[in-house]
């Protein structure tokens, strides 16, 4: 079966249906139930969405269809309870947050994740609680709220480690936690987390190339370029990963690594491939970084660098802009071009004043 709808999209529609039920908009509720039922058949599997659907469907049938009241077995049917309403509200907030995440509305996603967290005690399954905390942590990460992200991801990891058979989920937690530790300046802890994941790489499946990409990034930041080279090359050898946004980013970072190792021919070949994939998939922020690298290494012209930074100076890309200006400033400092180094460092400082949660990595 062709899966046309993401769980977040279907969850958003169920939320609209739930609102219609709560407000006693009968005709609209019936229309939305029919719509959601059709979408559910073409959705990627997701137990949370199915559970939410079942709960709303129960409430829909009980409260909107008056024929229930005349059925002889109505009094024996399970009655709605405060606990059920709490579960409905939990899934409503949770899946609305997921829908907002999909549309990159991270601030409102954080608000609804926070509301759902207040009801997390209603969820008995520890694995379900862990998954929620992981997704909440990712939302905090996307907003650069690294302290809150660290808290939620750590709680998720603790719960996953108490369950059997969740090695992949543990690995996902550790990948995000390693990034968070990096942003918080805990580079040793970040490297330790990635090393722990790599020790069980045979259990990672399609997560493995992403782990290798993150490991390569850690090695590159530690100026261990030979080690970074090995990890990036292993990561992009996976054809499916190589064309994803993470895979194209790994190609760009591998090109940068080759530039550091003064292997410019290999670097430019990789940059060409990365640029092609970024254009084909409309990865605009990666195209901007490619343009910056062209300005630094091919054209030796900082106007291309400025143009690339302009493309990165939009909401949601503050972290990328910040790290890129740090990199550019250091590049010009190494060349002894201190005027340019100070010029781009000022851009870093200006952004830091507006977003004090950003830290040097």
Q: Does residue 102 lie within any of the structural domains?
A: yes
pLDDT at 152: 96
Please determine, for residue 267, whether its predicted confidence score (pLDDT) is greater than 90: yes
In this predicted structure, the answer to whether residue 190 has a pLDDT above a threshold of 90 is: no
> In percent, how much of the chain has pLDDT > 70?
91
| Torsion 260-263-265-267 (CA) sign | negative
Mean pLDDT computed over 25-49: 83
Q: Are residues 41 and 86 in the same domain?
A: yes
Which residue(s) pair with 5 in the sheet?
43
* Total structural domains within the chain: 4
Query: Which pLDDT score is estimated for 62?
Result: 64
Range among 32-36, 113-117, 120-124 rated most confident: 113-117
- Does residue 324 sit within a domain? yes
Q: Each residue of 166-182: pLDDT tens digit?
A: 888 999 999 999 989 88
What is the reported pLDDT for 83? 67
Q: pTM (2 decimals)?
A: 0.70
Give the span between the Cα atoms of 34 and 61, in whole angstroms: 13
- Between 132 and 70, the higher pLDDT residue: 132
Domain annotation covers residue 316:
yes
Are 114 and 129 contained in the same domain?
no
The pLDDT mean for the chain works out to 84
- Residue 128 belongs to a domain: yes
Q: Same domain, yes or no, for 305 and 236?
A: no
Question: Which domain covers residue 288, as residue numbers?
Answer: 282-361
């Amino acid at each position: 079966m062709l899966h046309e709808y993401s769980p977040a999209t279907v969850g958003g529609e169920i939320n609209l249906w739930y609102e219609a039920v709560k407000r006693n908009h009968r005709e609209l509720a019936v229309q939305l139930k029919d719509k959601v039922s059709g979408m559910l058949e073409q959705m990627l599997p997701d137990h949370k969405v199915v559970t939410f659907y079942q709960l709303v469907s129960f409430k829909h049938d009980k409260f909107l269809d008056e024929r229930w009241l005349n059925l002889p077995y109505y009094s024996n049917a399970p009655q709605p309870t405060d606990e059920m309403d709490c579960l409905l509200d939990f899934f409503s907030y949770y899946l609305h947050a997921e829908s907002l995440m999909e549309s990159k509305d991270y601030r409102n996603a954080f608000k609804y994740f926070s509301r759902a967290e207040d009801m997390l005690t209603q969820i008995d399954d520890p694995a379900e609680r862990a998954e929620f905390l992981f997704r909440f942590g990712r939302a905090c990460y996307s907003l650069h709220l690294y302290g809150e992200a660290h808290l939620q991801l750590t709680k998720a990891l603790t719960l996953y480690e108490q369950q059997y058979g969740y090695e992949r989920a543990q690995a996902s937690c550790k990948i995000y936690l390693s990034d968070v530790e990096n942003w918080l300046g805990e580079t040793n802890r970040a490297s330790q987390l990635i090393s722990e994941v790599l020790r069980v790489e045979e259990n990672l499946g399609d997560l493995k190339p992403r782990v290798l990409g993150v490991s390569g990034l850690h090695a590159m930041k530690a100026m261990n370029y030979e080690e970074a080279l090995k990890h990036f090359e292993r990561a992009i050898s996976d054809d499916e990963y190589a064309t994803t946004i993470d895979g194209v980013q790994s190609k760009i970072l591998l090109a940068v690594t080759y530039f550091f190792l003064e292997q410019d021919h290999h670097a430019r070949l990789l940059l060409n491939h990365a640029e092609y994939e970024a254009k084909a998939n409309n990865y605009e922020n990666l195209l901007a970084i490619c343009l910056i690298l062209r300005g630094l290494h091919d054209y030796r012209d900082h106007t291309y660098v400025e143009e690339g930074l302009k493309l990165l100076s939009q909401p949601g890309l503050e972290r990328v802009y910040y790290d890129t200006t740090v990199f550019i400033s250091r590049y010009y400092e190494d060349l002894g071009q201190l005027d340019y180094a100070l010029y781009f460092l000022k851009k870093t400082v200006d952004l830091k004043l507006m977003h004090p949660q950003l830290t040097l990595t």
